[in-house]
Amino acid sequence: TTAKIAAEAGVSEPIIYRHFRNKQDLFIALVEKVGDEVMHNWEQASRNARSPLEKLQGLLYRNPATADPWTASVYQLLFHASTEVSEPAIQQAIRDHYERYVRSLAAVMSQAQKAGQIRADLPAEWLAWQIIHAAVGFAMVRPLNIPSHANLEFVQGTIRLLVELLTRPALGGDHPMPKAKKHSGKRSLR
């Protein structure tokens, strides 16, 4: 709620409405702010990386939806809005937010592919989206405090598994994704 946001910011609700026309504008500004914060954190985390793979590993440990209490609370709002919103401007802000992350991850993954450090059989953008999917799923389950998911060992194990999948050679040749069959237009129960 706006009251909660005002309280967290240490201001009154009317002050918020002096800067934002409505809740939609406030939400979009919040999404942009958290994106800027995450990009800054990612830059800090990867500043001393010696290789693209090391940089990627640093980014994986900085899942913005779980690594920092402030960004984690914003992501709970973002996840909620993602499932319920029908406002085109908010949908666009959320899409832009995730696409910004994908561009950043894909750039690092492309460098790692060129260095032969991660699999090159899939486009870097596809791999980046898989990381986003895993991070969002993990972050949505984490607040449930499932004992096996809440400890550091599980988090580190999940990241090791993701890195292993990225560094493993493709199975079955150059085309790991099966081609979709053309649909005849007829419905079949088989």
Residue 177 is given by DSSP the state S
Distance CA(13)–CA(31), nearest Å, equals 19
Q: Letter for the amino acid at 33?
A: K
* pLDDT tens sequence across 36-60: 888 888 888 888 999 999 999 888 8
pLDDT bucket at 189, cuts 50 / 70 / 90: very low
Interatomic CA distance for residues 152 and 156, integer angstroms: 6
Q: What is the pLDDT of residues 101-132, one digit of tens each?
A: 999 999 999 999 999 999 999 999 999 999 99
* CATH code linked to domain 24-167: 1.10.357.10
- In 3D space, the residue among 39, 37, 17 whose CA is nearest the CA of residue 26 turns out to be 17
Greater model confidence, 121 or 25: 121
pLDDT for 10 equals 64
pLDDT at 182: 42
User: Rounded distance, CA 100 to CA 94, Å?
Assistant: 10
Question: Is 176 a residue whose pLDDT tops 50?
Answer: no
pTM of the model: 0.76
